[in-house]
């Protein structure tokens, strides 16, 4: 065999280094994918333990699960009524110039507990808290009203009208005649008592403080008065006499409710929609931020911040650059 033939056999025996490099890369990629999958599964188990350990009311049943593809995401209700893995994006927008002044991403589907974090984020980004904050119904709770009052923030939101539908259904299930619904009982502030439709007195019996920002005053008639009443079948008083519960807001909440009855506060509330909804809609339609391109809270927040920066730059063009250019060319 010639020297050239021996050398060629030796080269063939060694193999193609490009193929070996490709095999090594593919093997490393498979190992990396398997390792990342194990890490995501372990993180999903940790997140599932957090979700299951959350108190009742902090997460709905549909939320009590964790995804192995994005463990930090949560199943949330969508605008079309369905459910999907999501993060809850919170934006705070300046009403004067429609600039986004605060942005964050949370795992919680509900907005009720996001007011205080939003205030803190705005203060962190801008060096001071806002003097007034306009929020929609999802943020209007007694807890948030008290939190805003403690921080000296003028909160503008929904009117917080009492929801009477649930109470009405409760009395319907009990078989109470509409003539004996609570609104038919007359309150006398001088004696701090109620009078039922037949005229029997319901005196104060107890004070309950089960919920934040509200006090429940309990009034009850004498058992003997109800026992001998010919109309008890329609009233359904029970063994101890008919009871009425009057709900009273604490002073800060009462002041908020009174403020939201004024035309000035309602006019301010009407300014929220065009400003807040515009920034959200712009990010979705102009930048396509309807679905995240990344996984995890930290990366999702980074994507949101870049989108908000783009939005603010566009607003700067509208507010500063375009007027100056038009003035210079005039």
Count other C-beta atoms under 10 Å from residue 219's C-beta.
22
What is the model's pLDDT at position 40? 62
What is the model's pLDDT at position 6? 61
Count other C-beta atoms under 10 Å from residue 89's C-beta.
19
Q: Where are the domains of the chain?
A: 3-53, 87-160+260-329, 165-250
Query: Which helix (H) or strand (E) segment is 219 a member of?
Result: strand 214-221
What is the model's pLDDT at position 215? 92
pTM > 0.95: yes or no: no
What is the model's pLDDT at position 61? 47
What is the model's pLDDT at position 228? 87
Count other C-beta atoms under 10 Å from residue 60's C-beta.
15
Write down the CATH number for the domain with range 87-160+260-329.
Answer: 3.30.420
Measured at the alpha carbon of residue 172, what is the angle toward residues 171 and 176, in degrees to the nearest 5? 60
Query: Which helix (H) or strand (E) segment is 311 a member of?
Result: helix 297-316
Give CA–CA dist 224/109, Å, rounded: 50
What is the model's pLDDT at position 56? 53
- Which contacts (CB < 8 Å, 24+ apart) does range 93-96 have? 93/275, 93/276, 93/279, 94/275, 95/134, 95/271, 95/272, 95/275
pLDDT, tens digit only, all 330 positions of the chain:
555 566 566 556 655 555 556 677 777 777 776 676 666 655 555 555 666 666 655 444 445 555 667 777 787 888 777 888 888 999 999 988 889 999 999 988 888 899 999 999 999 999 998 999 999 988 999 999 999 999 999 999 988 876 677 778 888 888 899 999 999 999 999 999 999 999 999 999 999 887 888 999 999 999 999 988 999 999 988 888 999 999 889 999 999 999 999 999 999 999 888 888 889 999 999 888 888 888 888 999 999 999 999 999 999 888 887 777 676 666
């Amino acid at each position: 065999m010639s020297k050239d033939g021996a050398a060629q056999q030796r080269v063939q025996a060694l193999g193609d280094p490009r193929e070996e490099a490709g095999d090594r890369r593919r093997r490393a990629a498979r190992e990396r994918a398997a390792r990342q999958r194990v890490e995501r599964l372990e993180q999903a188990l940790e997140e599932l333990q957090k979700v299951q350990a959350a108190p009742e009311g902090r997460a709905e049943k549909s939320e009590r699960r964790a995804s192995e593809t994005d463990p930090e995401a949560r199943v949330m209700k969508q605008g079309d009524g369905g459910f999907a893995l999501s993060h809850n994006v919170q934006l705070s927008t300046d009403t004067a110039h429609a600039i986004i002044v605060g942005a964050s991403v949370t795992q919680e589907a509900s907005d009720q507990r996001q007011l205080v974090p939003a205030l803190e984020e705005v203060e962190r980004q801008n060096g001071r808290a806002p003097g007034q904050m306009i929020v929609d119904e999802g943020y209007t709770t007694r807890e948030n009203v008290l939190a805003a009052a403690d921080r000296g923030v003028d909160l503008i939101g929904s009117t917080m009208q009492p929801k009477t539908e649930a109470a009405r259904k409760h009395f319907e299930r009990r078989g109470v005649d509409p003539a004996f619904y609570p609104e038919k009982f007359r309150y006398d502030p001088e004696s701090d008592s109620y009078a039922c439709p037949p005229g029997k007195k319901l005196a104060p019996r107890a004070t309950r403080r089960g919920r934040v920002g509200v006090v429940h005053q309990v009034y009850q008639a004498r058992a003997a008065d109800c026992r001998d009443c010919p109309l008890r079948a329609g009233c359904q008083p029970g063994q101890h006499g008919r009871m009425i519960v009057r709900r009273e807001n604490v002073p800060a909440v009462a002041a908020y409710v009174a403020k939201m009855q004024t035309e000035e506060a309602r006019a301010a509330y009407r300014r929220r929609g065009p400003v807040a909804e515009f920034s959200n809609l712009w990010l979705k339609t102009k930048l396509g931020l309807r679905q995240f391109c990344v996984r995890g809270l930290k990366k999702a927040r980074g994507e949101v911040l870049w989108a908000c920066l783009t939005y603010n730059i566009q607003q700067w063009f509208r507010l500063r650059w375009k007027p100056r250019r038009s003035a210079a060319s005039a």
